[in-house]
A = this chain, B = another copy of it.
Amino acid sequence: MISIKMKEQVQNSSIIRAMFEEGKRLAEIHGAENVYDFSLGNPSVEPPADVKEAILEIINSESSNSVHGYMNNSGFEDVRAAIAKSINDKFGTAFEQKNILMTVGAAGGMNVILKTLLNPGDEVITFAPFFGEYRSYVKNYEGELVIISPNTRDFQPNLEEFEGKITQKTKAVIINSPNNPTGVVYSEKTIIKLADILRSKQKEFGTDIYLFSDEPYRELAYDNVEVPYVTKYYENTIIGYSYSKSLSLPGERIGYLVIPDQAADFENIQMAANIANRILGYVNAPSLFQRVVAKCLNAKVDVETYNKNRELFYNGLLSYGYQCIKPEGAFYLFVKTPIENDVEFCNLAKKKNILIVPGTAFGCPGYVRIAYCVAYRTIEKALPGFKALIEELR
């Protein structure tokens, strides 16, 4: 009885579902503390204390009808103005309230923009490895996801292939930096070159190509690496942000879009995005957490905790002979599998009670994603398993 499209989705998701069920089964047999689950990007670091303080302050001092009530579908005006100012202070931009649209997380924001822009058959380009959900989001609006093959040397995007794959039908390009699953931060050089290519292709085809920068991991960056603010490099940029990782609030579904004045057809996009937010059934971003994030603009989770996990895990795996780019951001390691078949490697890992995700799910076979947003102790306990795994495969 379910729709044909959803039948496909159910089939595709059955592998991940099977892994999830297997994880639960293992936990029942061996105890949850002896199953090492590195499969999910669910933050382990607590939200900063500011979040709780903000909730208490709002609940105790503001009118509950206004805290929990409807507002403009784009969000509370004062919240949007505060976020615009905060971005301007950090990046030297000049955004105003009208440039910010509060969304149900980054996933909600991306759906709003794709709904706003895509006609059936429009092409959306992204770079492997990429967050697998992009496939569904683009398909929701009858778009075609065009995947650029991975550059496994340093996981910066493969811009030569990219240039060749832009067509008259290219409506948008999605980038994600710091990247899920590699942890790589796209360098300023990359962004400049990518912007040059887009500008020249826009001219060649007489089209507008929007660059959607998906930035839920922006605040999780290590070693003082700079994450370029993309609107400064390319006019037709739209930013999608989320507080899921920066404030450890993934369940609350709170984020925003930045739609700059400079983006082609700005006024229509802004108006249509507001309506898309409504008609897709989000209506508006959750109201209490809109007010909460406006009070936490300078707060962020303790990134050093993730950094310690990163060092422990990365150095451990390297010492056993694994190959992996050192991630500069996010909380994932993207590790080359000692055997070619990444799905098989994940199955072998499972026998050691280690749960990881095959690179195939991110459009990059021969690799696995390991989420290190877990307790330090879990990594310590799992490392011997990783050592045994590679030794057995030699």
Give residues in A with beta carbon < 8 Å to B: 1-7, 9-10, 13, 40, 42-44, 46-47, 51-52, 55-56, 59, 64-65, 67-71, 104-105, 107-112, 115-119, 133, 136-137, 140-141, 208, 210, 248-253, 264-265, 268-269, 271-272, 275-276, 278-289
Contact = CB atoms under 8 A, between A and B. Distances in A.
Contacts of A279: 9, 133, 136-137, 140
Contact of A42 (B59, B70, B108): B70
B2 A116 contact: yes
A76 B253 CA distance: 15
Nearest to A276: B6
Given A281-B105, A286-B253, A46 B70 contact: no
Given A108-B282, A252-B286, 4 more contacts: A69-B248, A253-B283, A253-B286, A280-B281
Nearest to A269: B2
A282 B286 CA distance: 11
Contacts of A285: 253
Nearest to A291: B251
B280 A140 contact: yes
A268 B1 contact: yes
Nearest to A13: B275
Contacts of A40: 70
Q: Which 4 A-B pairs have the closest CB atoms?
A: A251-B287, A111-B281, A1-B265, A136-B279
A116 to B, nearest CB: 5
Contacts of A3: 115-119, 141, 272
Contacts of A108: 281-282
A281 B250 CA distance: 12
Contacts of A275: 6, 9-10, 13
A325 B105 CA distance: 42
A51 B71 contact: no
A250 B69 contact: yes
Nearest to A105: B283
Contacts of A44: 65
23 contacts: A1-B269, A2-B117, A3-B117, A6-B116, A6-B275, A9-B279, A13-B275, A42-B69, A44-B65, A47-B68, A52-B59, A56-B59, A68-B251, A70-B251, A104-B282, A108-B281, A109-B281, A136-B278, A140-B279, A252-B288, A253-B283, A280-B280, A281-B282
Given A71-B251, A108-B282, A281-B111, A271 B117 contact: no
Contact of A68 (B115, B140, B250, B271): B250
Contacts of A52: 59, 64
Nearest to A56: B59
Contacts of A282: 104, 107-108, 253, 281-282
A269 B141 CA distance: 21
A289 B252 CA distance: 8
Nearest to A45: B65
Contacts of A117: 1-3
B9 A272 contact: yes
A68 B248 contact: yes
Contacts of A5: 119
Given A64-B46, A279-B9, A253 B2 contact: no
Contacts of A281: 104-105, 107-112, 137, 280, 282
